[in-house]
């Protein structure tokens, strides 16, 4: 295992990118955000990738990202897309922190524009089903489970204490 990276996992809207940035400010390590890197490499939004090439193609890109990080990156903060733990060996990238947030809080946090960007968050009932299906996977992948229903500084502190 590559134990030097801090890997953030969790459902869409659980705050992974926000916490990654806060960790960067606190600690200085560079952030690798899987969705942002995939979008930049493909020169397409996540939504356009799903629409044009389908989910399987996107999952292949995530697997490549995961393999690359596991073999080439150290001392980074890795912010993952919400589906990565189901399709990739996220533990191979580093120490895994699951940002756990109740579904209702996630819904409160994601406005219409934020949902629009997420192909798998178009329908409330389907997203809720996905949330319940994924919860056990997140729990089993995680080295640490962090309560994400706290302030950004508290969450950041809890992660830094465990790194």
Interacting residues with ligand S3P (CB under 6 A): 12, 16, 35, 46, 81-83, 118-120
Q: Which is nearer to ligand S3P, 100 or 118 (CB)?
A: 118
Minimum CB–partner distance for residue 127 and ligand S3P (Å): 9
Q: Which is nearer to ligand S3P, 56 or 161 (CB)?
A: 56
Query: Among 139, 149, 147, 135, which residue's Cα sits nearest to residue 104?
Result: 149
Q: Which is nearer to ligand S3P, 2 or 58 (CB)?
A: 58
Minimum CB–partner distance for residue 128 and ligand S3P (Å): 13
Minimum CB–partner distance for residue 58 and ligand S3P (Å): 7
Minimum CB–partner distance for residue 12 and ligand S3P (Å): 3
Provide the sign of the torsion angle of the four alpha carbons 135, 140, 142, 145, taken in this order: positive
Residue sitting closest to ligand S3P (CB): 81
Q: Which is nearer to ligand S3P, 132 or 161 (CB)?
A: 132
């Amino acid at each position: 295992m590559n134990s030097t990276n801090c890997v953030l996992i969790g459902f869409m809207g659980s705050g992974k990118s926000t916490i990654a940035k806060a960790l960067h400010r606190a600690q200085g390590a560079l952030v690798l955000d899987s969705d942002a890197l995939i979008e930049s490499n493909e020169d397409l939004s996540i939504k356009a990738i799903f629409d044009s090439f389908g989910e399987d193609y996107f999952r292949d890109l995530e697997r490549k990202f995961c393999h690359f990080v596991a073999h080439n990156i150290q001392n980074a903060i890795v912010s993952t897309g919400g589906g990565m733990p189901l399709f990739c060996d996220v533990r191979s990238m580093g120490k895994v922190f699951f940002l756990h947030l109740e579904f209702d809080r996630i819904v409160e946090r994601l406005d219409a524009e934020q949902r629009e960007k997420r192909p798998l968050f178009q329908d409330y009932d389907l997203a809720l089903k996905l949330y319940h299906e994924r919860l056990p996977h997140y729990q089993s992948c995680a080295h640490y489970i962090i309560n994400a229903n706290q302030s950004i500084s508290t969450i950041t502190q809890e992660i830094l204490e465990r790194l």
